[in-house]
């Protein structure tokens, strides 16, 4: 079973993806971490973030160790990831890895911006997770404060809105719900309630897929 979860920054999609993966015993890929790792490499090398050739090279040279870098979750890296992710060469370099991950035996859960539209249009269940920008900014600020970091909620809101604009307006694989995605607005939902709603979507998708499967012919016919 392949579960595709897309949505804007801090919508809760990552938390839901992890919970669903654990519940169904499936491997999980946070596809945003790939773009973050590319951005991190460029920042570390002091390269220009607008240098598409350098970004493409960094994407092609990505290794598993790059995904373990604790600096990937930084705000600066997220912002830079949003810039490099608009580059067609970077997206092309990361496509096969994501598709292979999704199609491993037993399936997987992937979350990102274009999983249901580009990476896995054939996914068994698709969720598009949203929340009001102000709610996402508050969640992000709470998360930073819980880690002992300072958080300016107004500034975070501006950054989130700028990132939404960039992610939805880019020419390649923009952030958008797939036609067959189930929309889940988590603005007024607790994590537990959002998880229950997400599980209900997955279970109804599985029932639908079973019902549409052609009946098996009895042996010997």
- The smaller minimum CB distance to ligand DC, of residues 169 and 207, is found at 169
Q: Please, what is the end-to-end C-alpha distance for the chain in angstroms? A: 29
Q: At its nearest, how many Å lie between ligand DC and the CB of residue 220? A: 47
Instruction: Note the residues at the interface with ligand DC (CB under 6 A).
Output: 9, 31-32, 35-36, 78, 81-82, 85, 112-114, 163, 167
Question: Could you tell me the two tokens for 221?
Answer: 């016919």
Report how far Cα 93 is from the mean position of its chain's Cα atoms: 17
- The smaller minimum CB distance to ligand DC, of residues 167 and 195, is found at 167
Handedness of CA 159, 64, 104, 207 (dihedral sign): negative
Q: At its nearest, how many Å lie between ligand DC and the CB of residue 139? A: 13
- The smaller minimum CB distance to ligand DC, of residues 75 and 206, is found at 75
Q: Are 175 and 148 in contact (CB under 8 A)?
A: no
- The smaller minimum CB distance to ligand DC, of residues 26 and 82, is found at 82
Question: Could you tell me the two tokens for 59?
Answer: 């994407």
What is the torsion angle, in degrees rounded to the nearest 10, for the CA atoms of residue 195, residue 117, residue 83 and residue 187? -30
Q: At its nearest, how many Å lie between ligand DC and the CB of residue 70? A: 14
Q: At its nearest, how many Å lie between ligand DC and the CB of residue 134? A: 18
């Amino acid at each position: 079973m392949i579960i595709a979860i897309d949505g804007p920054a801090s919508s809760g999609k990552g938390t839901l993806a992890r919970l669903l993966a654990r519940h169904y015993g499936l491997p999980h890929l946070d596809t945003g971490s790939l773009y973050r790792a590319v951005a991190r490499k460029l920042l570390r090398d002091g390269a220009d973030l607008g240098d598409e050739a350098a970004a493409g090279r960094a994407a092609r040279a990505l290794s598993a160790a790059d995904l373990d870098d604790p600096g990937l979750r930084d705000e600066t890296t997220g912002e830079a990831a949003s810039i490099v992710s608009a580059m067609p060469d970077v997206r092309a370099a990361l496509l096969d890895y994501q598709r292979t991950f999704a199609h491993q035996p037993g399936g997987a859960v992937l979350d990102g911006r274009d999983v249901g539209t580009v990476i896995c249009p054939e996914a068994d269940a698709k969720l598009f997770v949203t929340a009001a920008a102000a709610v996402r900014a508050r969640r992000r600020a709470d998360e930073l404060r819980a880690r002992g970091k300072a958080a300016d909620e107004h500034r975070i809101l501006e950054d989130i809105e700028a990132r939404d604009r960039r992610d939805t307006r880019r020419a390649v694989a923009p952030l958008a719900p797939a036609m067959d995605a189930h929309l889940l607005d988590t603005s007024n939902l607790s994590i537990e309630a959002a998880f229950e709603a997400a599980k209900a979507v997955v279970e109804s998708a599985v029932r639908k897929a079973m019902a549409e499967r052609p009946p098996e012919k009895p042996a010997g016919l």
